[in-house]
Amino acid sequence: MPKLFDIKCPGGCNAGPEGFWAAVDVWIKKPHVANKRLCGVKETDGKDVDREDLHFLLKDPESELSQDVFSFLQCGISPAHTHGKDKPWPSTVRRLIPKVNCYGKTLLHQDQFSSVTFLFISLSSPDFDRQQVTFLPYEEDSEGAVSLKKGNIYQIRLCSHDYNDWSLELHILYPDAWFSDGVVYPKLPWLSSDLLPKLVRWATQCKSSEFRNTLSLLPVEKYSLTYQQLKDKYKAMVKVWPEVTDPEKFVYEDVAIATYLLVLWAEEREEKGLTSRQSFVDLGCGNGLLVHILTNEGHPGKGIDVRRRKIWDMYGPQTLLEEKAITPSESFLFPGTDWLIGNHSDELTPWIPVIAARSSYSCRYFVLPCCFFDFCGKYQRRQCKKSQYREYIDFVAEVSHVCGFVTEEDCLRIPSTKRVCLVGKSRNYESSAEAEAEQQRAHYIQSRHTTSGVIVQGSDVTKHVTDSDRTPGSIWGAGFQPRDKVETVRNCATLPRDFVDGVVLHVANVLLAMTKSDDGRSSSDWNPGGSLSVSEVARLLKQETLQLLKKECGGLQTLLRNNHQVFRVEGGMVNIRDWRDRKSFMSVAKGKPVGSGAVKTRLCWFHTHHPQGCPLQTEQCGFAHGPEDLRLSTRPLKKRKTDAF
């Protein structure tokens, strides 16, 4: 008999059919969001299947399996609507793509089938009591033979109990025959304990993303293989990273961006029949790792940045990096370059489509916007109905379109909140119309400067300028300010220590006073303090204090987060951190002995300032209880591991 798992949706939530199908859509199109062992899916067009189609798929329509599958598909239909049993089922076919290792092998075991295809049969009609989707897994071996994985057939249903009271149910056709490989097929308890709650959350949120799905412009299987190969090839950079930035974040992020570009360019070569690898220039290349990877993988190019980094000396002479301030002008055109890259290029971001368009008709670009800049100065918001990030992406896309590019948008898989990229691979006009296109660009740039109050010399942007009569070195945007050669540190780290300690102590005392009790409190009743929003904390401070913090990136919230020993800042709320919580004391949670890693290298704030002292014993606390308890720092690199199924 089929096995049932169910979970109720929160009362009063929008978890009706609309929310249910939105959640199902996520699980079908983006299963890697929940199953971290997957890279993605390759989805085919949907179609309706009837009994005859299913007979063909099930091989033997008279078998017990076929009868069970038909009963399983029809169990969601109300007896009062038996006519629905004769209607075709809407279906979608997708191929699951597991992550691969550096040798091109999938994470599936060697004795498993090389690919898994799911046929999704959906049942949805206003006349039906239940909404449901059924998953029929088909496996294809190396010889192309296809078979149904009958033990792993399952169904997800939305059930309505009364008005605004819904639940999701997971039904397994043959629960005793369920097979798990830890990759494509998770363990059965995972479906009920992890997947169902996620589906409920997605259903209750019921909101579509402002952006496209990740890797929507690329074949996911090629991306997965290339990424694993590059990751294995360049992972050693993490151990020798000389910069103060987080090595794991920056190395693997640049590996992912390089992977995206390499696959994108490989697809372009195949599409256009190109034999040579594309050339590139990375404008604002920063640490230069992206340039280093692309160069090593056979693409000729260079990077330019206003500041030299320590790591540049490690790459060798084959990686071309120039220390130079970039200004949008005739001095920075690249007529012989195929692609311009803007990876978190800050003030250069809106200029990159312009530079690419004016470099040559064949020049293309890739830009990954981060900080919000207009042509000259910060970008000023104009629409309140969009998020600031969505509005800025739309602005850069508008610049791209005006510059004459057919603009495509995609979302990368990188450890960053700013993951949306724009790609200009072709033009929306013929090369013979270059004069009119240039005039349109010039007029648009002038209009942006006029809107922002910057006066632009008419000779620079208003008249049509050809390659033959542009003045060498002429600047297109009066008022454009490249970043400083010396980076200004503004993360509250340069504030006077006494000033920071004073703010921390003041805020902590207010939080502790919110739950203050009699002096007779026992050690087990250690005071964890109350909770305030960041805005409420701001009202506790003097105006001159807030002004000083305002000059720092992130301001008050950055200061509070930097002092994570004392505070926990989550969801805009500030609390005293309770180190008795295993999540707060990571060393104890991982079973590491006290003294390993970065412990006992700083004084314990609670031992010194909390009225009841530290809630942990000296041997348990990761911070020093007095100067005699201090130790030298030996911070090893830590690597996060995903939970196994």
Look up residue 513 and give its two tokens: 């006073």
Band (pLDDT 50/70/90 cuts) for residue 248 is: confident
Q: Contact, 508 vs 540, CB < 8 A?
A: no
User: Looking at per-residue confidence, does 521 or 620 come out higher?
Assistant: 620
What is the b/e burial string over 495-517, where b = at least 16 CB atoms within 10 angstroms of the residue's CB? beeeebeebbeebbebbbeeeee
Look up residue 370 and give its two tokens: 């981060």
- Bridge partners of 408, per DSSP, are 423
pLDDT of residue 489: 53
Strands 531-533, 567-570: pairing kind: unpaired
152: left (phi over 0), alpha (psi -120 to 50) or beta: alpha
Prediction pTM value: 0.68
Look up residue 160 and give its two tokens: 């309505």
pLDDT of residue 634: 54
Stretch 277-294: mean pLDDT: 96
DSSP run (H or E) holding 439: helix 434-451
Q: Angle at Cα 417 formed by Cα 414 and Cα 418, nearest 5°?
A: 85
Look up residue 125 and give its two tokens: 């009609």
Look up residue 15 and give its two tokens: 């978890």
Q: Contact, 35 vs 186, CB < 8 A?
A: yes
Q: Which ranges of 366-487 would DSSP assign to H, the alpha helix?
A: 388-402, 434-451, 458-461
Per-residue pLDDT tens for 482-507? 766 665 555 556 678 888 899 999 99
The answer for residues whose C-beta is within 8 angstroms of residue 391's C-beta and 6 or more apart is 381, 382, 383
Per-residue pLDDT tens for 528-552? 999 999 889 999 998 888 888 877 6
Mean of the per-residue pLDDT values of the chain:
79
Per-residue pLDDT tens for 250-282? 899 999 999 999 999 999 999 999 999 999 999
Q: Round to whole Å and give the CA distance between 571 and 619.
A: 32
| Chain-centroid distance, C-alpha 292 | 23
Q: Round to whole Å and give the CA distance between 54 and 68.
A: 12
| Chain-centroid distance, C-alpha 239 | 24
Kindly tell me if the per-residue pLDDT of 457 is higher than 50: no
What is the b/e burial string over 96-130, where b = at least 16 CB atoms within 10 angstroms of the residue's CB? bbbbbeeeeebbbeeebbebbbbbbbbbbeeebeb
Look up residue 204 and give its two tokens: 């209750």
To which residue do tokens 């590139």 refer?
A: 280
Q: Contact, 95 vs 115, CB < 8 A?
A: yes
Stretch 415-432: mean pLDDT: 94
DSSP string, 344-365: S-GGGTTHHHHHHHHH-TT-EE
| Chain-centroid distance, C-alpha 224 | 16
User: Looking at per-residue confidence, does 549 or 111 come out higher?
Assistant: 549
pLDDT of residue 78: 46
Considering only CA atoms, give the Rg of the chain: 29
Per-residue pLDDT tens for 377-421? 889 888 778 889 999 999 999 999 999 999 999 999 998 889 999
Q: Round to whole Å and give the CA distance between 6 and 22.
A: 18
The answer for residues whose C-beta is within 8 angstroms of residue 201's C-beta and 6 or more apart is none
Kindly tell me if the per-residue pLDDT of 587 is higher than 60: no
**Domains and their CATH numbers in the chain:** 3-76+86-102+112-204 (3.30.530), 220-450 (3.40.50.150), 488-512+528-577 (1.10.10), 595-635 (no CATH)
Q: Round to whole Å and give the CA distance between 220 and 333.
A: 34
Kindly tell me if the per-residue pLDDT of 615 is higher than 70: yes
User: Looking at per-residue confidence, does 418 or 80 come out higher?
Assistant: 418
pLDDT of residue 86: 58
Q: Which ranges of 191-246 would DSSP assign to H, the alpha helix?
A: 196-205, 220-234, 237-240
